[in-house]
Amino acid sequence: MSQEQPSVLRLIWQTNYLRNLMLLCILAFVAIPVLERFWVYPQFVQSVLTDIEQEAQRLGGHLAHPLVESPLGIRKDRLPQNFLKTIDQFTKEFNLEKVKVFNSDGLIVYSTDAKDIGRINNKPYFTQQVAQGVPFTKLVRRQQASMEGSFQTKDVVETYVPIVKSGHFFGAFELYYNVSDRLLNLEQVVRRTSYAMLALIATLALLLFIVLLKAMGQMGQTAEKISKLGEREALLSRIVTHVQDALVVIDQQGQIVYWNRAAKRIFGYEETEVLGQPVHRLLAPLRFREQAERGFQQFQKSGQATMVVGRTVEIQGMCKGGKELPVEISANQFDYHGQSWVVATVRDISLRKEVEHHLKLSSSIMQYAKDGILVTDTNACIEMANPAMTELTGYSTEELLGQPTSLLNSGRHDHAFFARMWQTLLKSGSWSGELWNRHKEGEILPHWLSISDIKDQSGKRTHFVAIFTDIGQRKAAQANLEQLAFYDALTAIPNRILFKERLNQGIREAGRRDGILAVLFLDLDLFKQVNDSYGHDIGDRLLQEVAKRLQSLLRSEDTVARLGGDEFAIVLRQLAEAPDDVALVAQKIIDFLSMPFPIGPESCQIGASVGISFYPKHGTDSESLVKKADQAMYAAKNSGRNRYRFALVDKPPTP
């Protein structure tokens, strides 16, 4: 043994390729641990930090929405409702150790650790980087006391996520991730990989040494081994050539012989769990398993797989645990050593299917929505319109596309209205309100309009979507309700409720201007005789004619109302002088109502007794003025009818 070793070492050293191979192995044994320690592991750590920073930015984006809505910025006493609940939920879901919220001055306004609240972060990385809208992430190694009194090392990633909207810095989140276990696992994986590579290199070196040594005396056997090695490399080359996403190689028995990392990620199985297993029993859902099994039985007999080979198909796959997912499979078949093999690349298309579903749903909403929907670019030019919109406006889709929304302007809204609308829309991202639009035929119609902006992933506004609701029937119903509530059903003039409202309005106006207001209370004379002689139909028509005559005598700012029966009341506003002007009006009313009323075949003769009160002479409120005018009317009726009387001023009490 001692005599053979020098001869072997001498042989290795004297043979150039053996000597170079030995030196290469020694270099590899030194270089791999160094690379693992100073390059590979730091690269993986940086990848972890990058992933955490991206995750933190997504979380920060979700949490920031309610905070940037307040014009006062982020304040401890003005955190939105459910904000703390949302933070608590995210802390549990994403296994965060701590969450801090800073305002724009670096003051901590909220922290899951209450001791942090009120502190200020004035470190350069906060003021020079985070406050400029750039995230900042660092890995901190800390010593933490355990319950047994010993100290444990904990790796924590602290990520600062700026809260920025429209270029304005509102504050920042600081999210703490405990990555001790992750880094420990990463270090172990890298180390195991390094050990595996060293072992592989050592094994390959040993095998090559043996092969090369034997090759020196067995040249014939060497050629055969090299040929087999070339064939194996050709097989591996074909497999690698067909790889795109997840890679699965199946033999003619339908069993899995190769399973890469992407396949593990998509389906959840480790390589050791799938090798040698029938692919149709492992990856096909139960409802398709019988069909898949028939296909592989045909493949075993004929060596021809016709179901998916040579084309790209979308099918349902099954993950570990039974969950189904949509996948896209591209498969190719090749022959090797007299057997047929299938190499398939598998792509998870769950996200694509979800996007297609949402697009189809959005298209259905546009197609079948009862409200009109417009999608415009940022310059308010129409890019999309649904059928309901064409029905509301009278324009076809072709006539609307490419046109500005001003095509529908009715002219009832001035420039200031649209300026306010756009100011609100650009500031808050939405606007809603009542708008009058012009139909293609010229008719002006009321719509309730709701506008919202659409932004891309970077937050840039790209489109606006506008929803038009026809409120014509609602407006008509509202007008009918107002008519019933405030106007007399018989004469269509204001009723008692609207009379009182306008009287109060006139009193407030007269009080501001130190003006005069008059209330006239009218009661028709001889009206009962008309009803008794000619019937209630003639009486109702007479009341309608009385209302018309009274309206013809008054100004637009005055109000005449029917209080009930044959009682009417008048409010005269903005009077220059009194009582002479009012007396002239009262006498004109009496004279006009004394003239005959030709109603159908009949001619009715009535009169009117009028009582007059003044603001503020006879009262400063509506009840007092109406009461005084009513009393004066009865005085006029008692003094002979068909005349007017002024209200009396109350005498002060005797001391």
pLDDT digits (tens, 9 = 90+) for 365-412: 777 777 888 899 989 899 888 898 888 888 998 988 899 988 888 888
% the chain with pLDDT above 90: 17
pLDDT category of residue 644 using cuts at 50, 70 and 90? very high
Question: What whole-number distance in Å separates Cα of residue 546 and Cα of residue 625?
Answer: 23
The pLDDT > 70 percentage for the chain reads 82
Residue 12, pLDDT > 70, answer no
For the full predicted model, state whether its pTM sits above 0.75: no
Contact indicator for 648, 619 with CB cutoff of 8 Å: no
CA angle 491, 493, 495 (to 5 degrees): 100
Contact residues for 212 (Cβ-Cβ < 8 A; gap 6+) = 17, 18, 21
Backbone angles phi, psi at 69, to 5 degrees: -75, -25
Which band of pLDDT confidence, cut at 50, 70 and 90, is reported for residue 8? low
**pLDDT tens for each residue of 515-565:** 889 999 999 998 988 888 888 888 899 999 999 999 999 888 899 999 988
Strand order in the sheet with 607-615: 559-564, 567-575, 516-525, 607-615, 644-646
How far from chain centre, in Å, is Cα 577? 63
pLDDT band at 632 (very low <50, low <70, confident <90, very high): very high
Q: In what order do the strands lie in the sheet with 461-470?
A: 382-385, 372-377, 461-470, 444-455, 430-438
| Residues with Cβ within 8 Å of residue 303, at least 6 apart in sequence | 252, 335, 339, 340
Q: State the pLDDT at residue 326.
A: 87
Q: How far is CA 417 from CA 382, 409, 436, 453, 613, in A?
A: 21, 12, 12, 19, 43
CA dihedral 175, 176, 177, 183 (to 10 degrees): 130
pLDDT grade for 1, boundaries at 50, 70 and 90: very low
Q: Among positive and negative, which fits the CA dihedral 47, 48, 53, 54?
A: positive
**pLDDT tens digits, 309-347:** 767 877 888 888 888 888 888 778 778 777 778 887 888
Q: What is the pLDDT of residue 98?
A: 84
User: Does residue 198 have a pLDDT over 60?
Assistant: yes
Whether the pLDDT of residue 482 is over 80: the answer is no
Q: State the average pLDDT for the chain.
A: 80
Question: Which among 317, 312, 344 has a CA at the least distance from the CA of 331?
Answer: 344
Q: pLDDT for 16-56, tens place per residue?
A: 666 777 777 777 777 777 777 777 778 777 787 788 878 87
CA distances from 213 to 6, 216, 218 (A): 15, 5, 9
pLDDT in the model for residue 500: 93
pLDDT recorded at residue 571? 94
Q: Which residues contact 613 (CB under 8 A, 6 or more apart)?
A: 518, 519, 521, 619, 624, 625, 626, 628, 629, 632, 646, 647
446 has pLDDT over 80: yes
**3-class secondary-structure state, position 478:** helix
